[in-house]
Amino acid sequence: MIKILVSDPLSDEGLKILKDIKEFQVDIKTDLKPEELKSVIKDYDALLVRSATKVNKDLLDAAVKLKVVGRAGVGLDNVDLGAATQKGVIVMNTPGGNTVSTAEHALSLILSLSRNIPQANASMKKAEWKRSKFMGVELYAKTLGIIGFGRIGREVAKRALSFGMIVEAYDPFLSREVAESLGIKIVELKELFQAADYITMHTPMTEETKHMISAEQFKIMKKGVRIINCARGGIIDEQALIAAVKEGKVAGAALDVFEKEPLTADSELLKLDNIILTPHLGASTEEAQVNVAIEVAEIVRDALLGRGIRNAANYPCLEAEVSKMLDPYMALAEKLGAFCSQLVEGRFQELDISYSGEIAAYDLSPLTMAISKGLLSPILKETVNFINAVSLAKERGIKIKEAKSSKENEFVNLIQLQIKTDKETRMVSGTLSSNKKTRIVKIDEYYVDLAPTDEMIYIENWDRPGLIGSLGTFLGKHNINIAAMTFGRDNPGGKAISVLTVDSPVSAETIEQIKKLENILTVKGIRL
């Protein structure tokens, strides 16, 4: 039975998806204190949270069975992604579920800022009638600067364009062609600050975006600019904003998120009439809550049942068609890594991976993860997995390099590994046969045709008559059945390699005895 813990409130529509799976036991415990959660998490395979539960390193260390954390929402501020990756826990969120609700909230705040709606409403509730006090401005022909042009930024742009606004966007990963096709202008950040009448944030909170709008940026903005933040607290330096509002540089601000939440009663933000505040309501619509609950339930369900991984923050996510193409190469990649790991002598220093052929057109990060897992598994055993393999390799000082070429060489598709240690450099190449079976086709300079299996014996030898017979006789006496043999050589009579696939494990003692046979140079037992 797969056990799932829901520690924050989740809509019934999402819970039903999980409860309907007979393999799942779903426990809903939304009132647990941190220490209580830490004491029970050891029993669960998956944890579903919103923003209240703090999935920190302490909690993850206690979660010995945990495989998946599902965040019903886009932000991962409450999840220690690094610690989760180190533990091999997949962290998934729901970036699409609250896109529209957040975009609409941003537009609501823009409109509220423009027409002083909250202030006018408060005045009316006091039985006042002060029309002149609440003179507003139009959105038409004003410039809206959007920082971060992901899903939400795009939805804000669509709505702003319908108001006749001029939309400029800053996003280092957005191409000019895509921007122009959407009717917006791509600009550099400084240019946006100088031109915008309204500036709205739609970026994640990172080291790079923390306080990306502070005193220095306010200085170069237009006098009378209006600031909106429905993204993450801390992107705007609140003290610098307060100062800019007080001196009149900023005509008004509307904030849904804050550096510290909830706001304390003595916050100066509460004292300024031209700053509009809402308590993190961007995703707080009935539709958004249902959408994120359904989405997080579906992605956690599929991950736990082996149906694929989507929306993972620490695992590459692939479209169905791409996954269909690359899945057979995942098995090949892992086997190549494991084969290489047991082939070489010395401490690993560098892994150079070359992808060539049709596969080079795809995002091959999953294959690099599989290679890294294969490389480390013979050493680290169950502590390494697809999620943490690359980070574990880098922690150990192993440099991983990737290269891709769309050109076909000898094979339609080829994965080539070159592993450097402090003692030697070895190379192994592999591909798929016409029936999608894994094949190792080259070991160093020797061409082979090897179908890797669970148990193999790798031999370096002199190419002499009678070698095959002596090997067969020796293994037969030790009750080891040879399933297949492959050979590679440069020149007749010179140095050669032989790889035997066998039906049963070969002991270290047997390996040592094979080394003593005539014309044998090196022997290794390889287990995949």
- The residues that are catalytic are 232, 261, 280
Residue pair 88/388 in contact by the 8 Å Cβ criterion: yes
Q: Contact at 8 Å (CB) between 507 and 527?
A: no
Closest to 416 measured CA to CA, from 374, 343, 339, 354: 354
Largest CA distance in the chain: 108
- CA angle, 25 as apex, 22 and 27 as ends, to 5°? 145
Distance separating the N- and C-terminal Cα atoms of the chain: 29
**What is d(CA 528, CA 457) in angstroms, rounded to the nearest whole number?**
11
Strands 413-421 and 198-201: unpaired
CB 288 within 8 A of CB 98: yes
Beta strands of 60-192 (E only): which ranges? 68-71, 90-92, 143-147, 166-170, 185-186
Q: Cα angle vertex 258, ends 253, 263, to 5°?
A: 105
CA distance 407 to 403: 12
Structural element, H or E, at residue 449? strand 446-450
Phi, psi of 293 (to 5 degrees): -65, -45
Instruction: Name the burial class of residue 90, with classes exposed (0-12), middle (13-18) and buried (19+) by CB atoms within 10 angstroms of its CB.
Output: buried
Q: Long-range contacts made by residues 214-220, C-beta under 8 angstroms, separation at least 24?
A: 214/240, 215/240, 215/243, 215/244, 217/193, 218/243, 218/244, 218/249, 218/250, 219/249, 220/190, 220/193, 220/194
SS3 484: strand
Structure tokens at 449: 């045709």
